[in-house]
């Protein structure tokens, strides 16, 4: 939680992906503090330095509730927030967006949403190829967020596709996608074609051809510039 730009009241909350942590944002952190009054990131339950209870059934609903609780704890419950998400965080952002659009009690106020290289659409068929990130060293590092829990996450996305994709389709919140086209999880061009078809009002930034699934780490300057261009466009 960093205080940044003087004269700005804008707040951005960063939602990381699977199977990593808020450290994914470290290369663009300083740049964000030069634009936003406050830059906030968390480790989702089961990730990074957060608790890893076992046994535990991890869910997108719980992670969204954690974000809502954090916002209240920080005294930002009435503040319009910008969400910047990646991978697993994209789905958490979609659930937060659904709650906001349906005026759910305790929902956060969303000013804008930027997604990046994540499974926003679970029914991509051959165009969505989740890597085997639940074995080997990743499995040992990530503890309870691996194995069956990643399968639970994928099943949740499929089961609740209408809820989460519908939130994107129906929202009036400004949307943007930052995309690394060499992504083996969400391959180019099918992923991008479907995104533009389903969400024609969203703006899109496509990074250089060699940028893959972690664009904020692989091309931090390109990622940051794309995001700030989006934020400054409305």
> Would you state the structure tokens that stand for residue 63, as one six-digit string?
């992670």
Q: Is 184 a member of any domain?
A: no
Residue-wise pLDDT for 14-59, tens only, equals: 999 999 999 999 999 999 999 999 999 999 999 999 999 988 889 9
Q: Is 127 a member of any domain?
A: no
Do 18 and 89 meet the contact criterion of CB atoms below 8 Å apart?
A: no
Task: Count Cα neighbours of 51 within 13 Å in the Cβ-side half-sphere.
Answer: 7
Tell me the CATH number at 49.
Answer: 3.40.50.1820
Q: What is the CA radius of gyration of the chain?
A: 16
Residue-wise pLDDT for 134-187, tens only, equals: 433 343 344 444 443 667 777 888 888 899 999 999 999 999 999 999 999 999
d(CA 226, CA 67): 24
Sequence-distant (6+) residues with CB within 8 A of 193 are none
pLDDT attached to residue 158: 84
Q: Is 155 a member of any domain?
A: yes
Q: Is 39 a member of any domain?
A: yes
* Confidence check: pLDDT of 130 > 90: no
Domain that holds residue 28: 11-80+87-119+138-177+219-232
Q: Is 193 a member of any domain?
A: no
Residue-wise pLDDT for 95-124, tens only, equals: 999 999 999 999 999 999 999 999 898 765
Q: Is 187 a member of any domain?
A: no
Number of domains in the chain: 1
Separation in Å, CA 196 to CA 3, 23, 73, 101, 211: 35, 30, 36, 21, 19
Q: What is the pTM assigned to this prediction? A: 0.90
Q: Is 115 a member of any domain?
A: yes
Q: Is 171 a member of any domain?
A: yes
pLDDT attached to residue 124: 59
């Amino acid at each position: 939680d960093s205080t940044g730009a003087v004269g700005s009241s804008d707040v951005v909350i960063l939602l990381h992906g699977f199977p990593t942590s808020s450290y994914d944002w470290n290369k663009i952190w300083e740049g964000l503090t030069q634009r936003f009054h406050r830059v906030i990131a968390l480790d989702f339950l089961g990730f990074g330095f957060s608790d890893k209870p076992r046994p535990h059934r991890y869910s997108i609903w719980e992670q969204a509730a954690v974000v809502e609780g954090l916002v209240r704890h920080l005294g930002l419950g009435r503040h319009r927030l910008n969400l910047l998400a990646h991978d697993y965080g994209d789905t958490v952002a979609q659930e937060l967006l659904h709650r906001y659009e349906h005026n759910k009690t305790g929902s956060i106020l969303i000013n804008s949403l930027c997604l990046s290289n994540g499974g926003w659409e679970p029914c991509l068929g051959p165009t969505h190829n989740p890597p085997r990130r639940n074995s080997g060293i990743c499995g040992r590092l990530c503890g309870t967020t691996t194995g069956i829990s990643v399968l639970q996450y994928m099943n949740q996305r499929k089961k609740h596709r209408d809820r989460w994709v519908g939130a994107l389709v129906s929202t009036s919140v400004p949307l943007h996608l930052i995309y690394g086209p060499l992504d083996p999880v969400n391959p180019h061009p099918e992923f991008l074609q479907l995104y533009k078809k389903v969400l024609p009002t969203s703006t899109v930034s496509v990074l250089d051809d060699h940028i893959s699934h972690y664009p904020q780490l692989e091309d931090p300057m390109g990622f940051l510039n794309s995001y700030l261009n989006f934020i400054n466009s409305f």
